[in-house]
Amino acid sequence: MKYYLIAGEASGDLHGSNLIKHLHQQDASANIRCWGGDLMQAAGANLVKHYRDLAFMGFIEVVANLTTILKNIRFCKRDILDFAPDVIVLIDYPGFNIKIVEWAKQQGFKTVYYISPQVWAWKEKRVKIIKAYVDKMLVILPFEKDYYGKFDYKVEYVGHPLVETIQEFREQPTNDHLAPGQKIIALLPGSRKQEIAKKLPIMLEVSKAFSEYRFVVARAPGLDKSFYEPFMQPYKNVSAVSGGTYNLLNQASAALVTSGTATLETAIFDVPEVVCYKANPISYEIAKRVIKVKYISLVNLIMDKLVVKELIQHEMNTANCIRELRELLENPERINQLKKDYADLKNLLSLGGHASANAARIIFEFISEAKPTGAAVNI
């Protein structure tokens, strides 16, 4: 069978790579073509375009790069028609993938969405598009099944892929200690240049108040270390790692983390965290008016309560980060409550079972029923 996968971010690359591994187990003759990253390529897919060329964050940035985005959409459609896959698997990345899925279904292609867009947070109107054009929706957050049920749309909860990914990592032996003789604070400032430039300087300034700790920056896979050096150069107790975020979290005493998948990864590693978010002021003001959720971190959203502190926009400053970090390191009551909440979180995420294997099985069984016929029309 022929599979066409589209992911546009580092987290999608991770989840896509695990899905690819299990698709190969389900289908020995699987021919997989993808938009994604190094991990998906290493898992056995033919990489068409890297996510580092696709990541535009915020309303202003998207408008500024609209010509490039539209060009990528046209290229993707042509490439799908040339490849003629048995199924198109869309992995999160809604701004791009929603455009593709509507077109793809009209051409007669089978469509599966793995990892739902966050329609419960904003752009709820996308549910109507999803119902019309997505043949199967595979969700990874427990509350999403009930959410889609309100719209009479049946989805399948497969569990969260991070649980299995991190469990497998922690079972592997490692002797690579990042800061011998020192305790570590992890800094996870994001994967896009725009967000890193906003948050990393504040995170690094915090290091001055914790001389007994080594602050280690997790560099994004798609960015060169030269991008980070001007930010880090003035600080003594700071270093960075590339491709070693899980090893970093496995050793960290606490972390400052940008919103997104990283907040969940940090929690599954049982690392106390402060969630930090700061965006372009115009983008933030627009987002504040359209986003409908109570929290920005996945940890708090899934638990439906404030488990980890969120410092948003003007609240994300050096003094607040220092105060919250000290609480996580020195307040036994806060630490114990956090451990309990993290345990409850992992139980919730594990209810669906082995997510990547479940998703691969469902996709293979779905396309085995009948092979689609794609018809070339206007793109």
Q: Residue 6: name the closest of 57, 217, 155, 19 by CA.
A: 19
Alpha carbon separation from 40 to 8, 10, 17, 18, 26 (Å, rounded): 11, 10, 4, 8, 17
Q: For the segment 343-371, what is each residue's pLDDT rounded down to a tens digit?
A: 999 999 987 779 999 999 999 999 998 66
Q: For the segment 217-253, what is each residue's pLDDT rounded down to a tens digit?
A: 999 877 898 999 999 999 999 999 998 999 999 999 9
Strands (E), 98-224: 111-114, 136-139, 156-157, 183-188, 213-219
Share of the chain above pLDDT 90, in %: 73
Report the predicted TM-score, pTM, of the whole model to 2 decimal places. 0.82
Report the alpha-carbon distance of residue 271 to residue 265 in Å, rounded. 9
- Residues β-bridged to residue 348: none
Phi, psi of 252 (to 5 degrees): -75, 145
> Side chain identity at 313, as an amino acid letter?
Q
User: What spatial distance separates the first Cα and last Cα of the chain, rounded to whole Å?
Assistant: 24
Phi, psi of 371 (to 5 degrees): -80, 135
In the numeric block, the tokens 């700061």 are attached to 278
Query: Domains, the chain, ranges and CATH?
Result: 2-159+351-368 (3.40.50.2000), 168-349 (3.40.50.2000)
